[in-house]
Homo-oligomer: A and B are copies of this chain.
Amino acid sequence: MAFLTELPLQLDALVAEVAAPECGGIATFLGLVRNHQEGRAVERLEYSAYHPMAEGECATIVAEAMAQWPVRVAVRHRVGTLLIGDAAVAVAAASAHRAAAFEACRYLIEELKRRVPIWKKEFFLDGSVDWVEPR
């Protein structure tokens, strides 16, 4: 299934995708649009992506996780306009034991944020606008 989507993310669907009879634990992470950024009140975010490269880089990161841990994983990132509380990214990792599930889930979200060509423009309540750049 595609990594990028314009539709709302469904954590339950991701969990169902990775669940399997041999799995004893599923760790998930949901990244949400929050109402503040460095002290300023946020109104909405607009996410854009370089789609073919984002899909490829995501597949690479997923393969890296599956090579490091015995996990089943799923990742999804939303693009378009998101409001406060909307989920921008969702990650799920299932494994026989919980340590692998946690470690793979953390690896996936850290690498996705660092390596996948996605950008977000922040619209503040005071009318100002900023491209978000990692610190």
How many copies are assembled?
2
- Among the interface residues A21, A26, A30, which one has the most CB atoms of the partner chain B within 10 A? A30
What chain B residues lie within 8 Å of A29 (beta carbons)?
25-28, 98, 101-102
- Number of residues of chain A lying within 8 A (CB) of chain B: 29
Whether the Cβ atoms of A30 and B15 lie closer than 8 Å is yes
A66 at the interface (CB under 8 A from B): no
The 7 closest A-B pairs by CB, nearest first: A24-B34, A21-B35, A26-B30, A28-B28, A21-B84, A27-B29, A12-B12
11 inter-chain pairs at a CB distance below 8 angstroms, sorted by A residue, are A21-B34, A21-B84, A21-B85, A22-B36, A23-B34, A24-B33, A24-B34, A26-B29, A28-B30, A29-B102, A98-B109
